[in-house]
Amino acid sequence: MQILLIGLNYRTAPVEVRERFSVDESVLEQTLQDLLAMSGVREAVIVSTCNRTEIYAVTNHRTRGEQDVRELLSRVSGLPVDAFVSYLYTAVDHHAVTHLYRVVSGLDSMVVGETQILGQVRHAYLYAQSANATGPVLNQLFRSAVSLGKRVQTETTIGQSAVSVSYAAVSLAKKVFDSLAHKTVLVIGAGKMSDLTLTHLTAQGVNRIFIVNRTLERAKEMAQRFGGRAFPLDQLAQALFEADIVISSTGSKEYVLTYSLLSDLMRQRKQRPLFCIDIAVPRDIDPALGRVTNIYLYDIDDLQGVVAANVALRKQESLRVEEMIQEEAAAFATWLLEQEVVPLIADLRKKAVEVQESVMDSLAHKLPELDERQMKVLQKHTMSIVNQLLREPIAQIKEMAVEPNGAEAMAAFARIFGLSDFLQERVSGVEDQVLPTFPEVRGDATRLEETAAERSCSRVDKRDAHSRDWNGTTTPAIALSAL
């Protein structure tokens, strides 16, 4: 049995590719059932968001399981496997588990530490569970993942510090106004920085957004995506009159917000406070406006100081989260390896009960004068003897099963107690059954062999300092925090 992950995300595939693999909830149940109908998959969860599509599966045969998952992705996308395999990444057992833990912790997100992904993963798991697509392994894995994600949010500050200028701008506005939900935000400019700023604003619940741009069509396109209202540049004063917060990022060589424009406008606004953040280089807002009563002006240098301090903080917090991930992965590995001993213990108990019942039958035959009450007393005491004799061997084999030589210990245990059924099952399934590899517990993990998909990820890694090493480690936390 192995845990298999195959997926693609914002690092390995552009949006025009990712959207082909998006699994809408209206077809999610059928997609899960199609996957489970394949011979190589026993359990499955599909996580599909705007930034990633990932399939987690339990399989008895890795090669067959990979083939089945890729075939399903081919059906979903309508593309032949050869057309998209270079966008995929693959991980097994420990590496699949730690990847999921990094996802729910926010370490694998475009904005490191963001919390929305935890809810999305939880929803994907609960949906798969309701569709009877999960079993004991993925149930335990995803419950532990959700629990870890909650701990990361409550025990660390990984998602609370701004490490990009656009995020810092929104964070600064949130600190000033506490809540942005009912504020009117004016974004000047429709470039990449404005796009990122709007992404962060909507994540904070802002629902009244004005966008001013020299090219109105570009402003309209952005307004449609973010649920805002577009203005041409000649209506800037009208938008400013209603705004509580202004965030400006254009490519203008001259000031967009001049002293004369805003000083006059503030009188019309009856000195209602205006919070201005200038993230443009060269600056969009005349710095003299910082001296105008009730205008609170911050420029990119102010924000860079915040970012620099927070990068160091996030690096420290990322290391804390990594420690939590490894602890949780070790706990899950121990649980998983303990499950291997469950059939052995069940066989032992079954055999012990059969012996006890045989003894009771013999007593009933040889001592017919015993009444019902006496037989119940004998039943109780003989069962007590059985339980006391089994208690220590069962406790010992549970401990031995998770040690590096656990498989050999279980086989020896089965031979000692004459559990032929268990031995036969192990022998008959040896070609197809592969013990999961968890280096923290077993100590014998082999390097994940590099598939074509992983080689593609390696190519992405060379281009993108933020990408992941799919052999179970992460890039330096400072690179992660810069996402």
Q: Catalytic residue numbers?
A: 50
CA end-to-end span of the chain, whole Å? Answer: 36
Residues 6+ apart with CB under 8 A from 93: 2, 3, 436, 437, 438
Annotated binding-site residue? 465? no
Annotated binding-site residue? 238? no
Annotated binding-site residue? 51? yes
In the three-class reduction of DSSP (H, G, I as helix; E, B as strand; rest coil), residue 25 is classed as: helix
Annotated binding-site residue? 190? yes
Annotated binding-site residue? 67? no
Annotated binding-site residue? 48? no
Specify the DSSP element, H or E, that contains 268. Answer: helix 259-268
CB-based burial, 300-311: b 16+ in 10 Å, e otherwise: beebeebbeebb
With CA atoms as reference, report the closest residue to 134 among 44, 68, 48: 44
Strand partners, 232: 213
What is the rounded CA–CA span in Å between residue 66 and residue 59?
9
Q: Are 294 and 274 in contact (CB under 8 A)?
A: yes
Annotated binding-site residue? 405? no
Kindly state the tokens that stand for 251: 């490519």
With CA atoms as reference, report the closest residue to 144 among 167, 116, 163, 121: 121
Sheet order of strands, 89-92 included: 43-48, 52-59, 2-9, 89-92
Annotated binding-site residue? 457? no
DSSP state of 436: -
Annotated binding-site residue? 446? no
Annotated binding-site residue? 120? yes
Annotated binding-site residue? 115? yes
Annotated binding-site residue? 90? no
* Angle at alpha carbon of residue 9, lines to 460 and 31, rounded to 5°: 140
What is the rounded CA–CA span in Å between residue 222 and residue 218?
6
The one-letter code for the residue type at 283 is R
Annotated binding-site residue? 193? yes
DSSP state of 297: E
What is the rounded CA–CA span in Å between residue 198 and residue 17?
23
In the three-class reduction of DSSP (H, G, I as helix; E, B as strand; rest coil), residue 430 is classed as: coil
Q: Are 76 and 31 in contact (CB under 8 A)?
A: yes
Residue with tokens 């339990």: 58
With CA atoms as reference, report the closest residue to 97 among 375, 432, 329: 329
With CA atoms as reference, report the closest residue to 442 among 340, 359, 298: 340
Specify binding-site residues.
49-52, 109, 114-116, 120, 189-194
Residues that constitute the known binding site for substrate: 49-52, 109, 114-116, 120
Give the residue ranges of the annotated binding site for NADP(+): 189-194
